[in-house]
Amino acid sequence: MGVLASLFRHNPRRVAVNAVYRRIVERAREPVFYTEWGVPDTLDGRFELLALHAFLVLRRLKRDHGATEAFAQELFDTMFADLDRALREMGVGDLGVGRRVKEMAAGFYGRIVAYDKGLADGAALDAALRRNLYGTAAPSEAQRAEAATYVLRQAAALEAQPLAALLAGEVGFAPVAA
């Protein structure tokens, strides 16, 4: 197959990855996070919600690592390519974009570790949410509790989701409110 033909070939995994990423972005943009739960409606707050939801999906994919490694890597790459594009659209210079994306990727890896610990320990989850999701904001205890309950509910919903559905581009997030 020639190079041009390969560009137009249908890639089912790519289509599914894009669908999963769209669902992650859609969920991260839910107004309730900003209006009721106290997440800052800033570039950082939006990145934090994107990172949190990507973590939840990637964590589910990790359970079946052998069957999902390429899919998970492509999802990660799609997310950071989109962040790169967004930074460029905001006017960040070419030299600054690469550095910023590397910093974001390193931060994302740190969040994965913190949220993984948090799913095993409620106090660690509260600390991870305070440090990452809320940053410099001062959410109420009720807002933090709602966010922690939400994270646990989403992790459980994704754990219950069949792998085939995820690999087909379907993300089974639970409703935002219980």
Tell me the pLDDT tens digit for each residue of 113-160.
999 999 999 899 999 999 999 998 999 999 999 999 999 999 999 999
Q: What is the largest CA-CA distance in the chain?
A: 59
What's the confidence (pLDDT) of residue 115? Answer: 97
pLDDT tens, residue by residue, 66-124:
999 999 999 999 999 888 888 777 766 666 677 777 888 889 999 999 999 999 998 99
Rounded CA separation 21/84 (Å): 15
Helices (H), 40-140: 43-63, 65-89, 94-120, 122-128
Cα separation, 98 vs 141, whole angstroms: 37
Region for residue 38 given its phi and psi (left: phi exceeds 0; alpha: psi -120 to 50; beta: otherwise): left
- Token code pair at residue 63: 């359970």
Rg (CA), the chain: 17
- Higher-pLDDT residue of 4, 73: 73
pLDDT band at 2 (very low <50, low <70, confident <90, very high): low
